[in-house]
Every structure is written in structure tokens, then in C-alpha cells.
Amino acid sequence: MKHPWFLTKLVILLLVLPLFAAAYAPSQDAGTDNPPANNPSVRGVRLSDVEGPVQLSEGNKVLTDAATANITLYEGSRVTTINDGRAEVQLDDGSVIRLTPASTLTMNLLRQEGNQTETELELNNGLAYFELKAKRDNSGLRVKFGDSLVTATSDSTIRINFDQAPGSVAIISGEVHVERPSGLSVDVHAGENLALDPSPATH
């Protein structure tokens, strides 16, 4: 063969390239960009902005302590702002959630059946601002904190403080409806603040 050295280098190159690609491929554990298998009804939402240390997790598994913007979050994903970290989550209906430091938000429910969508977000702890779109015939969005559920009856901006149970809701604009298992069912309007009673049986 006229140039055996060329063939030898070509064989070495073909063997090395797959190893190089595997070593530098992005880790799938860096975020939650992979949708749940065998569940086509589950939707994704976007981690639209990150400032400082932000942790992403699913169940008991921490995916990353250094989340970056534009990661897709699916049902079961949890966002935690650490120390002075802040995060913003954007939903497909235009609703936006902004987490202040030391706060945790879980995507409890992100489903779609046909043109019907159902969304439940839970503020597990901390303080967050919610820009919520009003509930429509083909969509349902609710926010949970503790044993309370909030739904927007008009496009609304609210602040939920859940540093300590049972928490409080301040309405910056719009109107929301708040319910608790004890039987509390109340509309809260712009400029009002609802501080929940720690003894729900008294409502």
C-alpha cells in the first residue's frame, strides 16, 4: 500500500472521536430538559431567569446546585433559591413566578388533555411574587401554599409569604380567590392583605 501511515491515522481517529464526543457531551443531570417518559399529557414550563445560586431537584434527587436560565421544568420539578439566589419561572399562558432568596417552588401538576390545561404550583417555603392569568374555560391554574389554594379571578399580581405557616397573601393588582379545607372561601382584592389564621378550625 502506498501510504500505510494514512490508513493507520484514520483508524486511530475513528476510534478516538466517539470517546471525545462522549467526554464532552452535555450532562443530562444538569437540568430537567427531558420530559417524563410515557406521559404525553405532561407539559413543560421555563426557568426563564436565574440570579445567584439556584438548585433544581426532583423528589429526593438534586439535579444541580447551579441552575441556568432557559431550562425546561416538568411536573415534579422543584426550584430552590439558595442564600441570595433568585429565580423566575414562566408558564405557557404568560403567568410569571419570581422567587426571592431562600424560597422553594414545586411544579405539582402540569398537564394538558387536548386544549385543556391544568396547572398547580406549590410555594413550599419563602416569599414569591406571582403574575397570574385569570382562569379560563380551557385552563386551570392554582397556587398552593400550606393547606391554602389561590386562583386568579382576573389577571392579578400577588405576593405570597410562606416563611411561616399558615402564611399570607397580598394582592398588588387584580383579584384572587382563596380556599382552605376548613371552609374558608374568600375573594381578595387589589390593595388587600389576607393573613391566614393559624387555627383553621376557627374559620
CA distances for 60 relative to 22, 35, 66, 113, 119, angstroms: 27, 18, 17, 28, 22
**In this predicted model, what pLDDT tens digit does every residue of 8-18 receive, in sequence order?**
544 444 454 44
Which residue type sits at 143? V
pLDDT above 90 (res 121): yes
pLDDT of residue 11: 47
**In this predicted model, what pLDDT tens digit does every residue of 25-82 receive, in sequence order?**
333 344 455 555 555 577 899 999 999 999 999 989 999 999 999 999 999 999 999 9
Which residue type sits at 131? E
**In this predicted model, what pLDDT tens digit does every residue of 137-157 receive, in sequence order?**
667 799 999 999 999 999 999
Residue 87 near residue 81 (C-beta atoms within 8 A): yes
Answer with the residue of higher pLDDT: 169 or 17.
169
pLDDT of residue 175: 96
Question: Strand pairing partners for 151?
Answer: 177
Burial tier of 89 (Cβ tally within 10 Å: 0-12, 13-18, 19+): buried
Round to whole Å and give the CA distance between 146 and 154. 23
pLDDT, the chain, mean: 84
**78 closest CA partner among 43, 41, 124:** 124
